[in-house]
Copies of this chain bind each other. A is one copy, B any other.
Amino acid sequence: MEAITIKDIAKALNLSTSTVSRALRGSYEINNETKKLVLEYAEKMNYHPNPIALSLKENRSKAIGVIVPEIANNFFSQAINGIEAVAYDRGYHVVIFQSHESYERERSNIQHLVGRKVDGVLISLSGQTTTVEHLQEIQKRGVPLVVFDRISNDIISNKVIADNFQGAYEATEHLILSGRKRIAHITSPSLLYTTNERLEGYKAALAKYNIPFDENLVRYCGFEPEDAKQVIFEVLETQKPDAIFTASDRLALDSFAAVKAKGIQIPEQVAFIGFTNLGVAHLLDPPLSTIVQPAFAIGKTAAEMLLDTIENKQSNAAVKTIKIPTEVNLRTSSE
């Protein structure tokens, strides 16, 4: 069951490989008879062009590379879902790598991908990434790049993110309108772009209702599970907030558990949350309001931008940053 090649067809039909090649791609300069002959034989023998040979010839692979911190994370797996959907429709393959929040691993992944001659790269930066030379490097090589969600101001490229400002604003406003004044904000590391956007949304809502911003109510938290517990207990103890606004499902659940464990009265809680836990937020008591990251749409949009760039190769196109609205599900506790 070895795969059949153009050469096999040529031999069988007593033609040259070039004639067969042209016939297969429907070139106008080929006799209709010959064309039909070739096409029928190819069909019969279940011929498929060898994509590796094509890649070598044309110096492209019809594959795109995706680098995410962790695949097993609702947000990223949803995003990959969106990416795969677009790629499949447009005849591209998706090659996946994880950086595991490591800068070194991310560099290595990039190397692999450019070595593999992917036609473009979609990346969400690792938590440790502070320099973007590796990204500039692939840009210099002419490989199109779209950065999504974990973006950086240092790299000039197309970007896609959730509208974190809007989500944070709406969520904070909801808490204020339900009577809360001391709203703790437990969030991701301060150097992430999204962290800042959320903080600004939070601040803007406070400002609108003339509540002074108190930085004692804000806590930045790394990705280690241990960090979270400490930070949460500490802010609950020392600041006595009357609501909590957390920046991830993990932080949301940890703070929820902390509230329960301490028997503290926190009737309102809001979380930036991933996809799967959506079904659970309203089952908790008090129920969690959620700000759902539009992960699928982000992946889809990023992939579309990338493939458009790859296929049009508009060198004049200006880079842009697209913000996708978050979906805010507000729930008030029935105190």
Task: Write out the residue numbers on chain B whose beta carbons fall within 8 Å of the beta carbon of A260.
Answer: 283
- Residues of chain B within 8 A (CB-CB) of A137 are 1
Interfacial chain B residues near A81, Cβ < 8 Å: 70-72, 98
Judged by a CB distance under 8 angstroms, whether A284 is at the interface is yes
Q: Flag the segment in A17-25, A89-97, A234-242 that touches B.
A: A89-97
Interface hit among A48-56, A155-163, A204-212, A215-223: A48-56
Give the residues in chain B near A320, CB-CB below 8 Å.
none
Copies in the complex: 2
Please measure, in the bound complex, the distance between the C-alpha atom of A2 and the C-alpha atom of B141, giving whole angstroms. Answer: 6
> Residue A134 at the B interface, CB < 8 A?
no
Q: Which residues of B contact A28 (CB under 8 A)?
A: none
Is there an interface contact between B1 and A141, defined as CB atoms closer than 8 Å? yes
Chain A interfacial residues counted at CB < 8 A = 59
Contact call B279/A253, Cβ cutoff below 8 A: yes
Return chain B residues, CB-CB under 8 Å to A84.
Answer: 71, 96-98
Taking each of A51, A73, A279, which has the highest tally of chain B beta carbons within 10 Å of its own beta carbon?
A: A279
Q: Is the CB of B280 within 8 A of A253?
A: yes
Option from B52, B111, B140, B295 in Cβ contact (under 8 Å) with A1: B140
Q: Which residues of B contact A2 (CB under 8 A)?
A: 141
- Is the pair B96, A80 in contact by a Cβ cutoff of 8 Å? yes
Cβ < 8 Å to B, chain A residues 68-127? 70-74, 76-78, 80-81, 84-85, 88, 93-98, 111-112, 114-117
**A297 neighbours in B (Cβ, 8 Å):** none
CB under 8 Å from chain B, chain A span 235-288: 249-250, 253-254, 256-257, 260, 274-277, 279-280, 283-285
What B residues does A96 contact at CB under 8 A? 80, 84, 94-96
- Max chain B CB contacts within 10 Å: which of A115, A137, A295? A115
How far apart are the CA atoms of A73 and B279 in the complex, in Å?
Answer: 13
Interchain CA distance A268-B275 in the complex, whole Å: 26
Query: Are the CB atoms of B71 and A80 closer together than 8 Å?
Result: yes
Asked if A179 lies at the interface with its beta carbon under 8 angstroms from chain B, I say: no
A93 CA to B115 CA, complexed, in Å: 11
**Minimum distance in angstroms from A313 CB to a CB of chain B:** 16
Q: Please name the residue on chain B nearest to A276 by beta carbon.
A: B276
User: Given B98, B279, B296, which contacts A72 in the complex, CB threshold below 8 Å?
Assistant: B296
- The yes or no answer to A26 lying at the interface (CB within 8 A) is no
Q: Kindly report which residue of chain B lies nearest to residue A118, judged by CB atoms.
A: B93
The answer to whether B61 and A283 have CB atoms under 8 Å apart is no
Q: Please name all residues of chain B whose beta carbon is closer than 8 Å to the beta carbon of A249 when the two chains form the complex.
A: 276
Q: A71-B84, A72-B81 are in contact. Are A52 and B63 (CB under 8 A)?
A: no
> CA–CA, A98 to B77, complex, Å?
12
In the complex the two chains form, is B3's CB within 8 Å of A141's CB?
yes
Q: Which residues on B sit within 8 Å (CB–CB) of A256? A: 283
A-side interface residues toward B, CB under 8 Å?
Answer: 1-3, 48, 50-53, 55-56, 61, 63, 70-74, 76-78, 80-81, 84-85, 88, 93-98, 111-112, 114-117, 137, 140-142, 249-250, 253-254, 256-257, 260, 274-277, 279-280, 283-285, 295-296
- If A48-B115, A50-B117, A51-B115 are given as contacts, then 4 extra A-B residue pairs at C-beta distance below 8 Å, sorted by A number, are A1-B142, A52-B56, A71-B84, A256-B283
